[in-house]
């Protein structure tokens, strides 16, 4: 499983990376004949230098699945998801929903968003890493049960409007 997300260090993103690993471990525990191994380009060792974009694209092509977190709205993440889509590699999108603080009490306005080119696709929206872990595990199980084919369907509803 190729993991695509912002390289920025933050408590939220560090938690997301660990949560991806937890969800994949839970999946592996219940699907011992179909183990998945998470891989992030910035976590690869090897001691040699390589052209990062070319290596990313090669890893995407060699992956059974891509999991992409859209939280930081990084152009490179969108590009890599687009590449996976063009190459026919199934992908899961995740997104940490952050409410904007307007100073006027509770709001449904979001501080960040899923941009137009990926907005029509289903994505896992989460507020906590526990919620992300549980939802991602469900999606991995469904993906496995469908014979590794994930329908890229329009989302039918967004809980936040």
Length of the chain: 161
Give the pLDDT confidence score for residue 110 in this predicted structure: 53
Task: Strand 66-69: give its sheet, edge to edge.
Answer: 2-4, 66-69, 91-96, 124-126
CB 60 within 8 A of CB 2: yes
Q: Is the pLDDT of residue 109 over 70?
A: no
Categorize the per-residue pLDDT at 14 as very low, low, confident or very high, splitting at 50, 70 and 90.
confident
Q: Is the pLDDT of residue 107 over 50?
A: no
Two structure tokens written together for 72? 């930081």
Give the pLDDT confidence score for residue 118 in this predicted structure: 75
- Distance CA(134)–CA(153), nearest Å, equals 21
The model's pTM? 0.77
Helix (H) or strand (E) holding 124: strand 124-126
Highest-scoring range by mean pLDDT, 37-46, 66-75, 102-111, 136-145? 136-145
Categorize the per-residue pLDDT at 87 as very low, low, confident or very high, splitting at 50, 70 and 90.
very high
Two structure tokens written together for 129? 């890493």
Average pLDDT over residues 146-155: 47
CB 146 within 8 A of CB 34: no
Tokens 């100073």 belong to 103
Q: Which residue has the higher pLDDT, 66 or 146?
A: 66
pLDDT in tens, 18-68: 999 999 999 999 999 889 988 888 666 555 666 777 888 999 999 999 999
DSSP string, 19-81: HHHHHHHHHHHH-TTS----B-GGG---SS---HHHHHHHHHHH-S-EEEE-TT--HHHHHHH
Q: Is the pLDDT of residue 146 over 60?
A: yes
């Amino acid at each position: 499983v190729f993991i695509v997300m912002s390289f920025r260090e933050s408590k939220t993103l560090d938690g997301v990376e660990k949560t991806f690993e937890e969800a994949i471990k839970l999946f592996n525990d219940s699907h011992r004949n179909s183990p998945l191994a998470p891989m992030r380009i910035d976590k690869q060792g090897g001691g040699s230098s390589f052209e990062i974009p070319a290596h990313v694209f090669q890893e995407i092509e060699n992956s059974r699945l891509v999991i992409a977190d859209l939280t930081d709205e990084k152009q490179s993440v969108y590009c890599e998801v687009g590449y996976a889509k063009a190459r026919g590699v199934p992908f899961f999108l995740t997104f940490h929903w952050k409410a904007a603080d307007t100073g006027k009490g509770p709001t449904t306005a979001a501080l960040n968003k899923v941009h137009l080119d990926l907005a029509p696709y289903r994505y896992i929206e989460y507020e906590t890493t526990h919620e992300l872990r549980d939802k991602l595990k469900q999606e991995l199980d469904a993906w496995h049960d469908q014979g590794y084919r994930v329908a890229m369907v329009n989302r039918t509803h967004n809980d936040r409007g």
